[in-house]
Structure 1
Amino acid sequence: MNKKNKFAHKILQHLENHYHSGKWFNRQNLQINKKIFSKIELKKILGISNDNKICVIFTHIFDDATFFYGKDLFESYEDWLKNIIYKIKELNNINWIIKVHPANMLKSNYSLEEKLLDRIIKIIPNHIKIVRPNTPINTFSFFGSIDYGLTVRGTVGCELACYGIPVITAGNGRYSGEGFTIDPKSKEEFYKYIENLGKIEKLNKHKINLAQVYTYGSLVCRSIKMHGINIKYTPEQFIKNNLIKVPKDQDDLMSKYDISKFISWVKNDIKYDLIELNENEISKNI
């Protein structure tokens, strides 16, 4: 196995392990007690009996920092989802899966996304499936089963691209413009991609490599294990309990690896992000 293949294997293994173990965004425990299904199993669960291509629409929490990362094509995450639904109602050549964001389990038993879906889709067409937050399906099940992904700027966009899955964004920020996603510049361009989705091919090796390098840098190297401040909760505890633990002794706090690393980063006015970086490993794979 050459160096590039080893690097690709490392990031793919990292993603798979975290979804398998339920550690991905584990402070929220969003993948706990969820199962990874094969494509055959997934299609059976969702009631998909044809061989049409599959696209998952990864929704955003409507009030989750909508304008934080950059400029959007649509007025809000709600407006984005609503207009997609209106568009795909008649596009029955694709199996559309609307995956409601799992973090809604922390906020409500009936999310704003679900209220919107139930309001504008009175009778769900056979080519549209809805996956609700309390689904038993682990998100990683989609990585080996789908052909396309839609998100405004969700983390799943760079993850899917690591597996060669084309992702259409609807706003800049984070990984848009890095060369491995489709980033429409207008609503009209966005709709054209949606209407002709089946013609879009899987990502080539170069774009997959760009995605893997970016994802390794942003999700692995920037994930610094917290020792000084501990945050842990379950969906049931989120509202009721304050589970943020900070050492009471200041000297003890300052001695923690993550705190001391952050202080050093600030004091030295370092121009790049706070990361755990093996520079040789990255540079050999760009």
Structure 2
Amino acid sequence: MNKNLRELLGDLPFTAEIDWMLRSKNRPRKDHFNLDRLQKSLPAAVEVVKPFAESATPGKKVLFFATLHYWIEQSAYLGLVLAGMGHDVTLLTLPYSEWHKQKDKFTQRQRVLHTYDALACLSPLVKHVSMLDMQSSSLATHGTLRAVRHDDLPEKILADIKEVSLWDVQYTLMREEVDMNDAGDKALYDLRIERNTFAAKAALQFMQTEKPDVVLIPNGLILEMGIVFRVARHLGIDAVTYEFNDQREQIWLAQNSSIMQQETDYLVDARCSQPMTDEMFERVADLENARRGARVWGKSKRLWQYVSSQGAAETRKMLNLDDRPVVMLAANVLGDSLTLGRDIFAASMTEWITKTVQYFAKRTDVQMVIRVHPGEKLVPQAKSMGTVVKEALPELPSHIHVIGALDKVNTYDLIEIADVGLAYTTTVGLETTMNGRPVISCGRTHYRGRGITIDPNTWEEYYATLEKVLSDIPAHQMTEKQIEFAWNYAYRFFFEYPRPFPWRLMNFWDDLAEHPLESVLSEEGMAQFKDTFDFLVGEPFTWKN
């Protein structure tokens, strides 16, 4: 069936439903949006949870939003756990696969039907509603998008839609420059505006009707996940967002903020006044040494460096550095949602790097080393920060050195030889402060404003800060008290900010095999994970000593 025919049939009532019942339902799915494995596993999972739910004390009314098939898979199981703990859970799904492409209406309608079939057995433990199947003429017709009038939404939500839609384009294209005169950029932005407007209208209507106690949302920054979060907060409803780091059996979560913004004020207030023990110092040092040695650490398979430390002297020799002071600029990976919405005085990280290297091109009294993030290796489609430097300085001065993502240089050797650090949001900035070097923080990062970085708020302040620091670097070395706090904060961020959790999104099915539902809901499993599940429904954060 060609695309035009599928689009036409998608507009005709019941065609998708009839085809689904007669032909498609029992066929192997070739669509990327595939919940077959989930559908096969859920009946047994529901039977496991039923006795726990029947004996549980009634809890909160939880609205759980999920889109994209892999988030829906995990959300179904997390929803079951919350139901087993006594919560009244509604899973609101948006069965998209391609957030950056318009899919024909027939295919999209069949995805709705497939999702209903896959999640049918969750009832009555977890109620399922498809956002694309809400019965309101102002929202949808037969589960497909219609134009949604912008004047139906509050001004704040309309502004949120524009901001999130721009981030969606940056995230999808993995570059910060969005040209509205470019047909491709404009078409993608318009699509995201359309979809985010629909999601805002649907979420607003649903939350006003259902009045949940808390809304649970993955990510909470980009795509419809970001919009649902904004709507919940607009209505004054508690919203909890979550994501995953590189470690298995851990989750990042935030209450009433997007987890991608990594707001850690509550962590600092509650924990950083606590003293560090020798064991804590050793644990942080072990992590740092693993990264320096290009080794995996803990329950992660990720390498943060691709070459082990060569030592400061060897690195200086390799880069042909002389005795002039060294300024290290550590870049992030473009397209990572951890970098979106983090701008302070620069319009983007690209603008910051461009103006910074142009400034240092004239400062021959110092040497500059630009560390392109090794993570760029994993996203070759992203615009490289090395490319940004080349565009800013077509002829690179001899005192400026660019270390590419694949270059055989270890970032921790650069930290050791640096006299001053420049960072946008990368954790390298924090690690540089742990080594006693002054760091100028230029993006809205979690360790900024903690008394361990220099924090300009305008371009004028930034340039003045550079002049002041470079004129007397020894006077800006960190104090022993600042270094001690940097290590304390690092421990809290690396080891207390993540919470125990059984199933990471990546390799979800492997983790589920290791931590089946009956194990998670058992007395032993609850001893390990219950606090995290409580935090996910908005209970105040606590820490076990």
Task: Describe the shift of the 1:138–1:230 C-alpha distance in structure 2 as closer, same or farther (beyond 3 A).
Answer: farther
Task: Describe the shift of the 1:5–1:66 C-alpha distance in structure 2 as closer, same or farther (beyond 3 A).
Answer: closer
Question: Alpha-carbon deviations, 1:248-267, whole Å to 9, x = none?
Answer: 64334556586544214335
Structure 2 residue aligned with 1:96:
368
What displacement does 1:6 show? 3.5
Which stretch shows the higher mean deviation, 200-209 or 123-132?
A: 200-209
Tell me how far apart the structure 2 counterparts of residues 244 and 78 of structure 1 sit (CA, whole Å).
38
Pick the aligned partner of 2:533 from 246, 263, 266.
Answer: 263
Q: How does 1:208-227 map to 2 (within 5 A)?
A: 208-224=483-499, 227=502
Structure 1: stretches of 5+ with no match in the other structure: 233-242, 279-286
What RMSD in Å do the two structures reach over aligned CA positions?
3.0
The answer to whether the aligner puts 1:247 opposite 2:512 as a matched pair is yes
The answer to whether the aligner puts 1:115 opposite 2:387 as a matched pair is yes
What displacement does 1:15 show? 3.8
Moved >6 Å (runs of 4+): none
Q: Which has the larger radius of gyration?
A: 2
Question: Alpha-carbon deviations, 1:64-102, whole Å to 9, x = none?
Answer: 337646551100111111111111110111110011111
Which stretch shows the higher mean deviation, 102-111 or 142-151?
A: 102-111
Task: Describe the shift of the 1:15–1:91 C-alpha distance in structure 2 as closer, same or farther (beyond 3 A).
Answer: farther
Q: Percent identity?
A: 20
The answer to whether the aligner puts 1:41 opposite 2:314 as a matched pair is yes
SS of corresponding position for 2:451? coil
Tell me how far apart the structure 1 counterparts of residues 530 and 488 of structure 2 sit (CA, whole Å).
27
Bigger relative contact order, structure 1 or 2, given CA contacts below 8 A and separation 6+? 1
Q: How does 1:1-286 map to 2 (within 5 A)?
A: 6=278, 9-10=281-282, 13-19=285-291, 20=293, 22-23=295-296, 26-32=300-306, 34-48=307-321, 50-65=322-337, 68=340, 70-108=342-380, 111-198=383-470, 199-200=472-473, 201-224=476-499, 227-229=502-504, 231=506, 245-247=510-512, 249-252=516-519, 254=521, 259-266=529-536, 269-271=539-541, 278=545
Is the Cα–Cα contact under 8 Å of residues 229 and 245 in structure 1 kept in the other structure?
no
What displacement does 1:191 show? 1.0
Which stretch shows the higher mean deviation, 183-192 or 139-148?
A: 139-148
Is the Cα–Cα contact under 8 Å of residues 72 and 170 in structure 1 kept in the other structure?
yes
Q: How many pairs were matched up?
A: 261
Tell me how far apart the structure 2 counterparts of residues 132 and 138 of structure 1 sit (CA, whole Å).
11
Tell me how far apart the structure 2 counterparts of residues 113 and 82 of structure 1 sit (CA, whole Å).
10
Is the Cα–Cα contact under 8 Å of residues 66 and 76 in structure 1 kept in the other structure?
no
Structure with higher helix content: 2
Is the Cα–Cα contact under 8 Å of residues 284 and 490 in structure 2 kept in the other structure?
no
Tell me how far apart the structure 2 counterparts of residues 143 and 163 of structure 1 sit (CA, whole Å).
8
Aligned AA (1:108):
P
What displacement does 1:105 show? 0.2
Tell me how far apart the structure 1 counterparts of residues 309 and 442 of structure 2 sit (CA, whole Å).
28
Tell me how far apart the structure 2 counterparts of residues 5 and 67 of structure 1 sit (CA, whole Å).
32
SS of corresponding position for 1:203? coil
Is the Cα–Cα contact under 8 Å of residues 153 and 173 in structure 1 kept in the other structure?
yes
